[in-house]
Amino acid sequence: MLPTPETLSVSELNRRARQLLESQLDQVWVEGEISNFSRPASGHWYFTLKDANAQIRCAMFRNRNVLVKQTPKAGEQVRVRARVSLYEARGDYQLIAESMQPAGLGALQQAFEALKQRLHQEGLFDESKKQALPKHIQHLAIISSPTGAAVHDILSVLARRNPGINVVLVPAAVQGEGAPAQLRKALAQAINLAPDAIIIGRGGGSLEDLWAFNNELLARDISACSIPIVSAVGHEVDFSICDFVADLRAPTPSAAAELVSGDNQATLQQLARLQRRLLPAFQRRLAVLRQRVQHAGSRLKHPGDRIQQWQQRTDQCELRLQRQIHSLLQQRDQKRQNLHSRLLLANPARRMPAERRQVHQLQQRLVVAQRAQLNSASQRLSALAGELDIVSPLATLKRGYVIVRDDEGALTKSATSLQANDAISLRFHDGDVDARVLATHPKHSNAVD
């Protein structure tokens, strides 16, 4: 019996395919044109990278795309360093982008920028050429695909906000090779209907999908139109040449419908709210005015009453002034008496006897102190003289010692420093004697004549 071949689930097959791709192709640099770019709330980027013959889906997660200096746009030519991988949930072969750098604009983007620059220089984008929308629009023409979501969004907003507007849909292709010609034809038909305003637009898409609205002839037709035109092409991040030449640009078709429709229901509700607020406000205002009149009437008095009040106030002020003057005079008199008493106490004649007695006592203490100090100094001098006499060389000489000097006057301390016949000088306590050495005996006691 033959062995049963291994059967893989779809998930296992995609997992193995992903592992094989990631192990065989580590990182690659790929250059191509950005298309179908999207950025959901997660912050990750999803886009298609393509050239003339092929395309590949790409993902660039938020932790990597935050390092890119500028968010890419559809039509831009970029170089991407990426890992080759496979999205297992759908089996889609894809690139996981690690870094991105511009590599020049794509062909469509270059054409868009060139046309935009040329028309701008010609003045087709000047604000002075823009027409304001009528305040109350009764007749509206819409140029778009009859099966697109944009028309549905516009009609839904109009039905909710202002169902009384007469709407005419002028159908036209909004994508493909023949779309620019159909859009121009639809614009001419809409102008012949003489509406109050015209909305031209479609839903979102890539740069290729919106390319019909970058047609130069269509842009010139819109610029020359005498009826206000609102351009509502794509989403808020999408821009087309029609947006720049139209009188007003709406970020979405729904926003365009809000611009051209006055919200009647909101207006009626506002009027009802104002009506409900008007009567209470009027009553409150009337009550305030009545109260003010009553208050003013209560404050209005006869001039004689006011004169009496001022006279009474004057009398009160006069009494207060008299009391204050009397109090001030009493304070000043009390202060004067205090100063006089202090002056008497501070009279020098009263203090002089005491000061004289103190001076006499200090003189006596000074004499006693001087005598005691002199006696102490005399005693100390005598003691020091006795101590000095004890250590004096003269006292030593009195005990029979002599001082020996050589003929140069230097002190001789040893017998070995003298020789026979040397002249020496001997100092006794009562005088000096000149002598000469007869002989030296270093080991015996010296004998000098």
Mean pLDDT, range 271-278, rounded to an integer: 80
Q: What's the confidence (pLDDT) of residue 282?
A: 80
Query: Which long-range contacts (C-beta less than 8 Å, at least 24 apart) are formed by 277-285?
Result: none
The answer to whether position 43 is within a domain reads yes
**Residues 169 and 88 placed together within one structural domain of the fold:** no
Residue 56 shares a structural domain with residue 119: no
**Is residue 155, in this structure, part of any structural domain at all?**
yes
Q: Whole-structure pTM over 0.85, yes or no? A: no
Specify which of 132-141, 383-392, 426-435 reaches the highest per-range mean pLDDT: 132-141
Please give the DSSP secondary-structure letter assigned to residue 163: T
Per-residue pLDDT tens over the stretch 205-232 = 767 788 999 999 999 999 999 999 999 9
> How many structural domains are present in the chain?
5
Question: Structural domain of residue 408, as residue ranges?
Answer: 392-449
Greatest mean pLDDT range, 73-77, 211-215, 231-235, 414-418: 211-215
274 part of a folded domain? yes
What's the rounded Cα separation, in Å, for the pair 302 and 308? Answer: 10
Residue 449: band (very low, low, confident or very high) from pLDDT cuts 50, 70, 90 = very low
387 part of a folded domain: yes
Q: State whether the Cα torsion 320-323-325-331 is positive or negative.
A: negative
Q: What are phi and psi of 166, to 5 degrees?
A: -85, 115
Contact between 190 and 141 under an 8 Å Cβ cutoff? The reply is yes
Which of the residue ranges 107-111, 131-135, 214-218, 333-337 would you say has the lowest mean pLDDT?
Answer: 107-111
Q: Are residues 47 and 146 in the same domain?
A: no
* Helix, strand, or coil (residue 304): helix
Question: Over pLDDT 90: what percentage of the chain?
Answer: 32
Task: Please say if the pLDDT value at position 144 is more than 90.
Answer: yes
Q: Tell whether 87 and 152 lie within a shared domain.
A: no
- Return the pLDDT at 2: 60
Identify whether residues 383 and 402 lie together within a single domain: no
pLDDT band at residue 433, thresholds of 50, 70 and 90?
confident
SS3 (DSSP) at 135? coil
**pLDDT per residue as tens digits for the range 361-416:** 888 999 888 889 999 988 998 888 877 777 777 777 777 788 888 888 888 888 88
- Does a structural domain hold residue 219? yes
- Do both 231 and 281 map to the same domain? no
DSSP class of residue 232? E
Whether residue 332 is contained in a domain is answered as: no
- The CATH number of whichever domain residue 83 belongs to comes to 2.40.50.140
Final residue in a domain of this structure, among 261, 283, 310: 261
Asked if residue 245 and residue 273 are part of one domain, the reply reads no
| Residues 29 and 150 placed together within one structural domain of the fold | no
Give the model's confidence band at 3: pLDDT under 50 very low, under 70 low, under 90 confident, else very high: low
Please give the mean pLDDT across all residues of the chain. Answer: 85
pLDDT confidence band for 448 (50 / 70 / 90): very low
Where do we find the tokens 């006089």? 340
Q: Are residues 441 and 408 in the same domain?
A: yes
Question: 380 and 410 share a domain?
Answer: no
Position 62 confidence tier, pLDDT thresholds 50, 70, 90: very high
Which of residues 108 and 163 earns the better pLDDT score?
A: 163
Specify if 329 maps to a domain: no
Q: Write down which residue in 261, 283, 316 finishes a domain.
A: 261
94 & 188 share domain: no
24 and 144 share a domain? no
Using the predicted structure, report yes or no on whether residue 126 has a pLDDT greater than 70: yes
**Quick one: average pLDDT of 17-22?**
75
- 428 — pLDDT class (breaks 50, 70, 90): confident
What is the per-residue pLDDT for 431?
86
Residue 143 forms beta bridges with which residues?
170, 200
pLDDT recorded at residue 274: 82
- Please determine, for residue 266, whether its predicted confidence score (pLDDT) is greater than 70: no
Confidence tier at 1 by pLDDT (50, 70, 90) = low
pLDDT per position as a tens digit, 156-172: 999 888 888 999 999 99
- % of the chain with per-residue pLDDT over 70: 92
